[in-house]
Chain A
């Protein structure tokens, strides 16, 4: 039973991954990545990572992918020209990928770790459950947890700064607001003069 589940998940994950890089439309690539992520969540369940699997579906396949779908729809399809800066890039790159896989596979199967040739030790019932992971996060890995939350805050602020609408932005979305803002600034400038006079 476990083998069937593993191969079903593996085929889904690998097929999704290959579809991500093979499909020409970016929107379809995003949808293929969702298939990949959900199959991977099944594999996480097989490895007894219940909380990670749930987080994978809720956070990744849910929230992050919605962001991707919106941006893919907003930007539209980017046409990739056939012109290549490095000749033969389309043929060399997959070869490099295959070479990397062979190298990693040799490293994995040739490693002297004995535990990877087993199914792993039998673990207690709560292994990977939300309560166990939460306890670890709030006790042993508290600093990492807080640093991650701070990083998320910084990333959110950075995204707003990057993607926010600027006044002087060159683009087709010019609104009447820039002139309004300039006028306001000009009117406000006499008011800003007195502090200079006092100094």
Chain B
């Protein structure tokens, strides 16, 4: 398979993630859509790494995975904290930082 196929698939997955962030209101699903976008980026990184025959892209993908894990942990912590304080879990209502 040509590398172009992987890159186009990665663009498709990224676009699906963007559409999800725009459509959905639940912060949990928005976090899932962020995961979709990060994984699309990972796929592109691995495709370029293969096309250049260089392993640096794979290390980059690994670091992206670490960053994604950090983002998930903090995001889910915020969601749980908001749920405990009876704040509605809807991004349209979560407008002020004061809560």
Q: Judge: A and B partners, yes or no.
A: yes
Q: How far is the CA of A10 from the CA of B8 in the complex (A)?
A: 11
Q: Which segment, of A152-160, A180-188, A191-199, faces chain B? A: A152-160
Q: How far is the CA of A98 from the CA of B26 in the complex (A)?
A: 22
Give Cα distance in the complex from A51 to B49, angstroms: 13
Q: Classify the interface of chain B: helix, strand, loop or mixed.
A: helix
Rounded to whole angstroms, the CA-CA distance of A36 and B25 in the bound complex is: 21
- The answer to whether B55 and A133 touch across the interface, beta carbons within 8 angstroms, is yes
Most chain B CB neighbours (cut-off 10 Å) among A63, A72, A78 = A78
Interchain CB contact under 8 A, B53 and A78: no
Q: Please name all residues of chain A whose beta carbon is closer than 8 Å to the beta carbon of B3 when the two chains form the complex.
A: 115-120
User: What is B's interface to A at a CB cutoff of 8 Å?
Assistant: 1-9, 11-20, 22-26, 28-29, 31-33, 35-36, 39, 42-43, 46-53, 55-56, 58-59, 61-63, 65-74, 76-81, 83-86, 89-90, 92
Binding site for B on A (CB under 8 A): 2-3, 6, 10, 13-14, 17-18, 20-21, 26, 29-30, 33, 36-37, 40, 43-44, 46-49, 51-52, 55-56, 59-60, 63-64, 67-68, 71-72, 74-75, 78, 80-81, 85, 89-90, 92-94, 96-98, 100-101, 104-105, 108-109, 113, 115-123, 127-128, 132-133, 136-137, 140-141, 144, 148, 151-152, 154-156, 158-163, 165, 169-173
